[in-house]
Structure 1
């Protein structure tokens, strides 16, 4: 009965910790999603900067997953080079160790559990009564409270384990017993699906003296290796960028674990035994330091060879996906700002492709039989499917951006349908009274393409959009006049009935095309958040 109670308490403590971590990271990602994206774009122009950025982002968001997902999306988009992405991943592995320090310095050192439940109450009140960022901050506070309440429950359970079973006497002299400890926490990390939960449970066990320092250090190595399984599972059936990112995780953690097992583990144990200053330190702090040194060791091993590392991975995992949709990765859904940004990029490029085709048709550089739009159609369908699977973001700004995205998809569909009747241009160009409108439209489309291809994307300037609005108004005003001209030519037998109908249809087509182009421009002027 006692064993069952301890087991239930252990499960409850881990569950509270995971729930608190989930609430905290999800709300922080919602608050900082856009800032996270902008940081990736602006502050990662070298592998070293990328590494430090990975450390800062992971500490701020308390989620190495958020960093990984951001990296996948922006590598595929071409905004972030893969060598810099490797730097981000290495940095995030270092940043992840901040959880161990937080637990060691706060969760196990101070009786923060006394204020944990009041924090949950404050967070819940803010979530219920406040809006936007303040409500998300409430979820962060509640998650923080649950996290430390879970640590307290976990520590109590580990004290019960220590009273019932003295695992600290488990022999660790042999290589086999050490490898077995690594394997135990490897499996534990996989089952918990969280390295943060695994390290917290391990530190709680050490604080309760259920295990000793040597066992704890071996378990930490196992936890770091166990995190690669999550990355591998996420990459199964995913994009090439996700597979490359998973490969970086696997190689980095496994190679670092080997060096840590052979060099770092014996070094720490020797220092703890023979250096008086270190021997008098709290073992929990020594474990937190070991965890950080583990990742720093990996950085020292891989950073000097990051260029060669990149070449090997690119050769082993060549790009296979469609050039436009390759970075619409399902894993980005957990950071809505990044999924939205990836979709925006695809849609802007698709819009550019449609405008480029229209310009070439109007200038007679190509004819309809020369164009295959199957890839464009497939891209639009992929984007629509990707958006259908995207859940509504918590952040109001992300919700607004998503709505604008959905509107942009509709307009792109309309423009794609306009492209089907582009042969009408030939009829317009043969009539002097009708050929001015398509030529005027070409000038505007060329200017739009210049803006669309700028990274980061600037919203359309007001004067440019106003010019397009004036062109639409002029085309509407001329429509009746031109219709009368066409009918007059038909009455005077200058046009056959069939030619008259074709010209009227061509006139409607160009007027509608100008109107649709103008609406897209107005939408992209409103979309301040596209960058």
Structure 2
């Protein structure tokens, strides 16, 4: 019996390692595809659900899909309603594992095929680079999955000889609840709904359990699977918590419906329909698993708006909204992490320019709380950028590097805000104040909304105007200095006051120069992406 338990644990371990290799490699290969799917095919809730389903089939991981949805909600690409639809689609897509196991893993012994796949995948990883190396990990992952299934089958066959689970039954409510509880515990212990369902299929094939028992165990495994996501969002952003809340509610409500409606219906079909009773039991279990999630989708899709209102009400946000986009979970998909960081960087520069506009136009300094919040956001962006690990993807790497260059000037311009008192001082000297107003008019023309930062034509015009102003200040710097000194003498200002006015002039020159360099970096960035 000890050997059987060892084989069970080993089979599950091999399956989990294979799933991890497969999922992580596919996420890196298809990271940009994930982004394109989410941004292009989520116009309606139904399309968003299909996108979630398709993405999960593509990367073989509902977690990756949900993380992508969280990242794009924060980045403003998806609404929360669209993200909920993606989560529902991901729950349907994750049932594909059951179909793969049913049609391939349980139909014949694939250990002889699995070992060469592992060898081929390892060889590709060692000798190849970039996408081919990742493909090697995908192949090795599949090999480990199939080898783990083979070990599980053999272990379950031995378990069936030494154990009799028929005493659990499935006729009474009590026995059904016990089977659901067993499924919950399996999913929580294995920390993978795919692994627990695969183990259930192996037990079904070996005869350790029968189909009715397996149906109720699968219900429990779908409930237990939410523990994985709940644990993962402890300390995470509000977007992550809200999206996981959707996943939890979806699985719990679907499980209740499956327990009282779907499972009895399937058992009735098997008993009274010759067609359904002739279908292989493992395929019936995979069919039940998919029907489970489809039933939940039919229940939830019509009421997404109501669910969105309730979840936002239950989980309000206390942080600056932009920080919700910088979710650590999004780091699992670098393309999405870069998109989220880009939005936060653009928000910061837009806030800096709006503060400058306000000070020059009204002579009113911003509240200290506003400056503290902006400083907190910039620090958070810098920390988040340090965590992003870019894979071997030239276009994404170039985009990330250009974003880092933009971030340098965000920090430079933010440092300029430390001497905002100079802006107040400029208002007392007509010549310099006119220069400040010219600079302010340029900002006002090109920063009426944050979307303009991503518009190449707008940034090109901004760059040209700032360059003209910068050249003018350079050629008239000595003349402006003389005017300041003359103003100081005529108005009989103290020497220290004159020095302060000269310092304010130099600050204004630097601000214009920094703004121009920022616009130049932004223009180059947008030019590369066009």
> Structure 1 length as normaliser, TM-score?
0.90
Point out the more displaced range, 344-353 or 109-118: 109-118
Where does residue 86 of structure 1 map in the other structure? 84
Q: 2 CA distance for matches of 1:284 and 1:378?
A: 54
SS in 1 for 2:30: helix
Give the 5 Å matches for 1:177-216: 177-216=175-214
Question: Per-residue displacement from partner, 1:422-443 (whole Å, max 9, x unpaired)?
Answer: 3323454555554454344334
- Structure 1 residue 165 corresponds to structure 2 residue 193: no
Q: 2 CA distance for matches of 1:413 and 1:300?
A: 49
CA contact (8 A) 1:20 1:146 kept: yes
Q: 2 CA distance for matches of 1:386 and 1:425?
A: 32
SS in 1 for 2:78: coil
Alignment size in residue pairs: 527
CA contact (8 A) 1:31 1:395 kept: no
Of the three residues 361, 364, 368, the one matched with 2:365 is: 368
Where does residue 115 of structure 1 map in the other structure? 113
Of the three residues 384, 391, 394, the one matched with 1:394 is: 391
Question: Shift in Å at residue 77 of structure 1?
Answer: 4.3
Q: 2 CA distance for matches of 1:63 and 1:109?
A: 23
Question: Shift in Å at residue 95 of structure 1?
Answer: 0.8
Q: 2 CA distance for matches of 1:270 and 1:48?
A: 31
Question: Shift in Å at residue 168 of structure 1?
Answer: 5.3
Where does residue 380 of structure 1 map in the other structure? 378
Where does residue 96 of structure 2 map in the other structure? 98
Question: Per-residue displacement from partner, 1:242-263 (whole Å, max 9, x unpaired)?
Answer: 2222222222111211111112
Where does residue 267 of structure 2 map in the other structure? 269
Question: Shift in Å at residue 353 of structure 1?
Answer: 0.7
Where does residue 63 of structure 1 map in the other structure? 61
SS in 1 for 2:323: coil
Question: Per-residue displacement from partner, 1:365-417 (whole Å, max 9, x unpaired)?
Answer: 242265641221222233334344x2523344444444444443332222112
Give the 5 Å matches for 1:97-496: 97-167=95-165, 170-363=168-361, 365-368=362-365, 372-388=370-386, 390-396=387-393, 397-428=395-426, 431=429, 433-435=431-433, 437-450=435-448, 452-454=450-452, 461-462=459-460, 464-480=462-478, 482-483=480-481
Question: Shift in Å at residue 85 of structure 1?
Answer: 2.1
Q: Which runs of 5+ in 1 are unaligned?
A: none
Question: Shift in Å at residue 490 of structure 1?
Answer: 7.4
CA contact (8 A) 1:451 1:458 kept: no
Q: 2 CA distance for matches of 1:490 and 1:263?
A: 87
Q: 2 CA distance for matches of 1:447 and 1:52?
A: 41
Point out the more displaced range, 320-329 or 440-449: 440-449
Question: Shift in Å at residue 133 of structure 1?
Answer: 2.9
SS in 2 for 1:527: helix
Question: Shift in Å at residue 273 of structure 1?
Answer: 2.2
SS in 1 for 2:225: helix
SS in 2 for 1:51: helix
SS in 2 for 1:393: coil
CA 1:319–1:483 in structure 2 vs 1: closer, same or farther (change >3 Å)?
Answer: same
Question: Shift in Å at residue 190 of structure 1?
Answer: 0.8
Q: CA RMSD in A?
A: 2.9
Point out the more displaced range, 353-362 or 326-335: 326-335
Q: 1 CA distance for matches of 2:331 and 2:457?
A: 25
Question: Per-residue displacement from partner, 1:340-386 (whole Å, max 9, x unpaired)?
Answer: 322221221111010011122222x2422656412212222333343
CA 1:476–1:135 in structure 2 vs 1: closer, same or farther (change >3 Å)?
Answer: farther
Where does residue 54 of structure 1 map in the other structure? 52
Question: Shift in Å at residue 291 of structure 1?
Answer: 0.3
Question: Shift in Å at residue 222 of structure 1?
Answer: 0.8
Q: 1 CA distance for matches of 2:444 and 2:258?
A: 57
Q: 1 CA distance for matches of 2:468 and 2:130?
A: 38
Q: 2 CA distance for matches of 1:513 and 1:43?
A: 42
Q: 1 CA distance for matches of 2:22 and 2:493?
A: 72
CA 1:502–1:31 in structure 2 vs 1: closer, same or farther (change >3 Å)?
Answer: same
Where does residue 15 of structure 1 map in the other structure? 13
Q: Which runs of 5+ in 2 are unaligned?
A: none
Q: 2 CA distance for matches of 1:456 and 1:18?
A: 42
CA 1:306–1:489 in structure 2 vs 1: closer, same or farther (change >3 Å)?
Answer: closer
Q: 2 CA distance for matches of 1:480 and 1:32?
A: 57
SS in 1 for 2:137: helix
Where does residue 507 of structure 1 map in the other structure? 505
SS in 2 for 1:325: helix
Question: Shift in Å at residue 160 of structure 1?
Answer: 2.3
Q: 2 CA distance for matches of 1:118 and 1:485?
A: 83
Point out the more displaced range, 444-453 or 153-162: 444-453
Question: Shift in Å at residue 189 of structure 1?
Answer: 0.5
> Structure 2 length as normaliser, TM-score?
0.90
